[in-house]
Amino acid sequence: NTGGWIEGVGYELLLHAAEAFRVNVILVVGHDRLYSLLTTHHRKKAERELAEEEAMSDPAADPSEDPKARDKKLKARQPKIIKLPRSGGVVSRDAPFRRDCRRQSIRRYFHGEKIRQAEAAPSSGAPSSSEVGSGGGAPPAAERRRYTPFLLELPFSSLRVYELSSVSLSAALLPVSAKQSTDPVQLSETSFHPSMKHAILAVCHPSAVLRYGETGRASDLYSAGVAGFVAVEKVDTDVEAVSLLSPCAGDLPSGVLLTGDIRWME
């Protein structure tokens, strides 16, 4: 289930997720425009890929082909998109609602779900005032979070922070049927600064860091699964140290972090 962000960059992220996970079925619930956009996009993408494949295999081949056979090839190259009716009373999730859901998800990552813990009963056999007032029932339950996050104080020198940048060439600058050989996403190292406060950073796996050091390919780092996330609580440029909120105790799996534009304040 996606987050409901289907405009602009949100739509581009949907397309990227479908391609990255090699999705073969897409369900669109009660949104005619999104259904039309996805159908058109994948149809054109399949036509473009089929044309490139035919040009590479046999440039002199006759482009005319049985329409039914060609349509069958195109359908095999694109996911099946199914439009489902929206249930009665269901409304679209607006941007403020989605932002609040994201804040709650980040909070759950660091602090866990809320749980109710019964307060300890008094040592004496006499009922407490709360029990008397409530008719002698069970003691009230206190709410607390399941996890206890930890604050790490680390020097700048022990960490490396990378941010993603896009590098793409116009199709007009490339030869016919040629594809961009360089990675469209590059990594650029950045330094800690006060504006990075409240940023959510991804902690890279040591194996991905090692592989990136050997190959230098940005995709070996950003496309690998991350070990977890930390939140920047404080950036002290005077002593060149940063305070990171971590969901568990101990050292970070690696000192290589990825930063984006997600911010979170409790």
72-86 residue pLDDT tens? 888 888 999 999 998
Per-residue confidence (pLDDT) for residue 132, from 0 to 100: 44
Cβ-proximal residues to 191 (8 Å cutoff; 6+ apart), any chain: 156, 161
Closest CA to 139 of 147, 150, 124, 129: 129
Closest CA to 111 of 142, 144, 154: 144
pLDDT at 232 over 90: yes
184 vs 197: which has the higher pLDDT: 197
Per-residue confidence (pLDDT) for residue 241, from 0 to 100: 96
Q: How sure is the predictor about 216, in pLDDT bands with cuts at 50, 70 and 90?
A: confident
Domain boundaries, the chain: 9-57+66-84, 151-263
Per-residue confidence (pLDDT) for residue 9, from 0 to 100: 84
Average of per-residue pLDDT values in the chain = 81
pLDDT at 139 over 80: no
CA distances from 96 to 5, 101, 102, 103, 179 (A): 11, 9, 10, 11, 39
222 vs 192: which has the higher pLDDT: 192
Per-residue confidence (pLDDT) for residue 178, from 0 to 100: 53
Mean pLDDT in residue range 174-195 = 72
Other beta carbons less than 10 A from residue 96's beta carbon: 8
Distance (Å, whole) CA 47 – CA 50: 5
Q: What is the largest CA-CA distance in the chain?
A: 96
pLDDT tens-digit series, residues 65-74 = 677 787 888 8
Cβ-proximal residues to 35 (8 Å cutoff; 6+ apart), any chain: 28, 81, 83
Contacts within 8 Å (CB) and 24+ apart, 107-112: 107/264, 107/266, 109/229, 109/247, 110/147, 110/149, 110/231, 110/245, 110/247, 111/145, 111/146, 111/147, 111/148, 111/149, 112/145, 112/146, 112/147
Which CATH code fits 151-263? 2.40.30.330
pLDDT at 162 over 90: yes
Contacts within 8 Å (CB) and 24+ apart, 36-44: 37/11, 38/14, 38/81, 39/81, 41/15, 42/78, 42/79, 42/81, 43/74, 43/78
pLDDT at 167 over 70: no
Distance (Å, whole) CA 241 – CA 196: 13
pLDDT tens-digit series, residues 110-121 = 988 877 765 444
Per-residue confidence (pLDDT) for residue 176, from 0 to 100: 52
Q: How sure is the predictor about 177, in pLDDT bands with cuts at 50, 70 and 90?
A: low
pLDDT at 136 over 60: no
Per-residue confidence (pLDDT) for residue 130, from 0 to 100: 45
Q: How sure is the predictor about 129, in pLDDT bands with cuts at 50, 70 and 90?
A: very low
Do residues 242 and 159 make contact, with C-beta atoms less than 8 angstroms apart?
A: yes
118 vs 96: which has the higher pLDDT: 96
Per-residue confidence (pLDDT) for residue 144, from 0 to 100: 76
Per-residue confidence (pLDDT) for residue 80, from 0 to 100: 94
